[in-house]
């Protein structure tokens, strides 16, 4: 396909083909720099959750790609998303991961900014002439900020599609996840698990919706989680009727709704007490009515990713943080359901640690796979990575999404198709 060469002379149309991608995309530092500009400084990125900063003065610090930011709630309840870079000489003005403060005072020369980013204090101000106005030196702000069901997204680019348009079909899956709360709200205040790995950021995104690997890489975990009784081949295997779906805009899903419903609610048995379940079911019925409540509970949380940094699997979501071409940190956020019985929320919390913790049943396998992957790329023998699995058996669904068998690479192709678009834009 004809594409324009990027400023570094690379032709992404050549490196990303319909059925394969070039290994260089995972280890070339020039490509990583290009991704920072074209993806991480342009796309909508997930940044934080509203429930992390409920009170005036609450803030969290994050990174949007490599750019450090502060997300702060001001006295009027507004959410302010500011670059964490002093307008004097560039120090970060806040180093804590979270807290409550009405102002951020740069430690270097003491310039002080309120939680809307306005410069409110300059020590020894007489050193500046009358043309100096504090109003000219606020912290820079992310040009676009949007929220969806409590999730705060932002873009460092002033132009581009609106958040809802960009989320597209993935927005309905966010609804499916949040609607598991009897009050329609998530609480994301249970801390964060961080894993770093020596590998490229795209591996974690691709792996999150790779339905080919779970029953192989995670076989031991799958046997444990179904206590040897479940039919794993019917969940993550050739006999599964789950679907791999390209949702558009780089979002992709492993649709386990039918599998979960058949298995009585979840791939992972929730192990709730009868009483807790009855209370939860009653609360859900009050909000949705009996039939809809049963349907929502039975299909459980959706399994999907939103390009480039947000992944929903089971009860948590995770956020991808690129560090360099071969180093990445993943942040796992357990989620609680507002209005659900304590026991159910406790169970959700412990599941995150059991499955995704440092000694969890699943996550360590994936991190090992990423590092082996990155190491394998050091052998520059055949640069192509195959992504053709199931290309011959995909369908276009009535709503326009492309879907294939769960073990097919429809989801990886979804990510790469959008990647190519973003990198050649």
Q: Which uninterrupted H or E stretch holds 288?
A: helix 274-288
> Cβ closer to Fe ion: 43 or 366?
366
Could you say which of Fe ion, ligand FES, none residue 109 binds, taking C-beta under 5 to 8 angstroms by partner kind?
A: ligand FES
CB of 56 to ligand FES, least distance (A): 24
CB of 168 closer than 8 Å to CB of 251: yes
CB of 134 to ligand FES, least distance (A): 12
If you count them, how many residues does the chain have?
A: 425
CB of 106 to ligand FES, least distance (A): 3
Q: Which uninterrupted H or E stretch holds 354?
A: helix 342-356
366 binds Fe ion (CB under 5 A): yes
Report the Cα–Cα distance between both ends of the chain, in Å, rounded.
Answer: 14
Strand locations in 217-279, DSSP E? 243-248, 251-255
> Cβ closer to ligand FES: 87 or 352?
87
CB of 228 closer than 8 Å to CB of 391: no
Virtual torsion, Cα 123, 124, 127, 132, nearest 10 deg: 40
CB of 62 to ligand FES, least distance (A): 20
Burial (0-12, 13-18, 19+ Cβ within 10 Å), 391: middle
The residues in 81-120 that bind ligand FES, with binding defined as CB under 6 A, are: 86, 88-89, 91, 106, 108-111
> Cβ closer to ligand FES: 88 or 141?
88
CB of 88 to ligand FES, least distance (A): 3
Could you say which of ligand FES, Fe ion, none residue 177 binds, taking C-beta under 5 to 8 angstroms by partner kind?
A: none
CB of 124 to ligand FES, least distance (A): 11
Could you say which of Fe ion, ligand FES, none residue 106 binds, taking C-beta under 5 to 8 angstroms by partner kind?
A: ligand FES
Distance CA 120, CA 114 (A): 7
Neighbours of 125 (CB within 10 A): 9
Could you say which of Fe ion, ligand FES, none residue 86 binds, taking C-beta under 5 to 8 angstroms by partner kind?
A: ligand FES
Residues 6+ apart with CB under 8 A from 161: none
Could you say which of ligand FES, Fe ion, none residue 78 binds, taking C-beta under 5 to 8 angstroms by partner kind?
A: none
Three-state SS at 353: helix
> Cβ closer to Fe ion: 106 or 221?
221
Of 126, 89, 120, nearest to 103 (Cα)? 120
Could you say which of ligand FES, Fe ion, none residue 366 binds, taking C-beta under 5 to 8 angstroms by partner kind?
A: Fe ion
* Residue whose C-beta lies closest to Fe ion: 366
The residues in 32-91 that bind ligand FES, with binding defined as CB under 6 A, are: 86, 88-89, 91
CB of 221 to Fe ion, least distance (A): 9
Long-range residue pairs from 359-365, CB within 8 A, at least 24 positions apart, any chain: 361/218, 361/220, 361/221, 361/224, 361/225, 362/218, 362/221, 363/195, 363/332, 365/217, 365/218, 365/221
Size of interface with ligand FES, in residues (CB under 6 A): 9
CB of 69 to ligand FES, least distance (A): 16
Could you say which of ligand FES, Fe ion, none residue 256 binds, taking C-beta under 5 to 8 angstroms by partner kind?
A: none
> Cβ closer to ligand FES: 106 or 337?
106
> Cβ closer to Fe ion: 93 or 242?
242
Tell how far CA 402 is from the center of its chain: 21
In the complex, the residues that contact ligand FES under the rule CB under 6 A are: 86, 88-89, 91, 106, 108-111
In the complex, the residues that contact Fe ion under the rule CB under 5 A are: 366
């Amino acid at each position: 396909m004809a594409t324009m060469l990027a400023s570094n002379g690379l032709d992404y149309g050549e490196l990303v083909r319909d059925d394969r991608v070039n290994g260089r995309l995972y280890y070339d530092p020039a490509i990583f720099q290009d991704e920072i500009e074209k993806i991480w400084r342009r796309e909508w990125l997930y940044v934080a959750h509203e429930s992390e900063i409920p009170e005036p003065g609450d803030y969290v610090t994050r990174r949007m790609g490599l750019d450090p930011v502060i997300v702060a709630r001001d006295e009027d309840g507004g959410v302010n998303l500011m670059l964490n870079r002093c307008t004097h000489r560039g120090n970060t003005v806040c180093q804590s991961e979270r807290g409550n403060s009405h102002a951020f005072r740069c430690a270097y020369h003491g310039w002080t900014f309120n939680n809307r980013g306005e410069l409110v204090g300059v020590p020894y101000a007489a050193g500046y002439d009358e043309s100096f106005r504090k109003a000219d030196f606020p912290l820079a702000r992310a040009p676009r900020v949007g929220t969806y069901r409590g999730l705060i997204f932002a873009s460092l680019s002033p132009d581009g599609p609106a958040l809802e348009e960009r989320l597209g079909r993935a927005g309905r899956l966010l609804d499916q996840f949040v609607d598991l709360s009897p009050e329609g709200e998530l609480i994301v205040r249970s801390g964060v698990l961080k894993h770093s790995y020596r590998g490229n950021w795209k591996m974690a995104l691709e792996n999150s919706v790779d339905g080919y690997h779970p029953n192989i890489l995670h076989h031991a975990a799958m046997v444990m989680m179904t206590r040897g009784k479940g039919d794993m081949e019917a969940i993550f295997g050739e006999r599964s009727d789950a679907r791999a779906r390209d949702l558009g805009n780089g979002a992709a899903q492993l649709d386990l709704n039918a599998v979960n419903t058949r298995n009585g609610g979840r791939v992972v048995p929730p192990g709730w007490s009868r009483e807790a379940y009855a209370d939860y079911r009653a609360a859900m019925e009050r909000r949705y009515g009996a039939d809809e409540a049963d349907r929502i509970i039975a299909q459980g949380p959706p399994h999907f990713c939103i390009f480039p940094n947000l992944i929903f699997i089971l009860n948590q979501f995770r956020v991808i943080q690129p560090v360099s071409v071969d180093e990445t940190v993943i942040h796992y956020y357990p989620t609680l359901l507002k209005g659900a019985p304590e026991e159910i929320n406790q169970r959700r919390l412990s599941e995150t640690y059991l499955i995704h913790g440092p000694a969890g049943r699943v996550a360590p396998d994936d991190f090992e796979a990423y590092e082996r992957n990155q190491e394998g790329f050091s052998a520059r023998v055949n640069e192509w990575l195959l992504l053709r699995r199931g290309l011959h058996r995909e369908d276009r669904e009535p709503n326009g999404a492309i879907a294939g068998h769960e073990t097919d690479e429809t989801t990886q192709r979804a990510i790469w198709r959008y990647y190519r678009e973003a990198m050649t834009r």
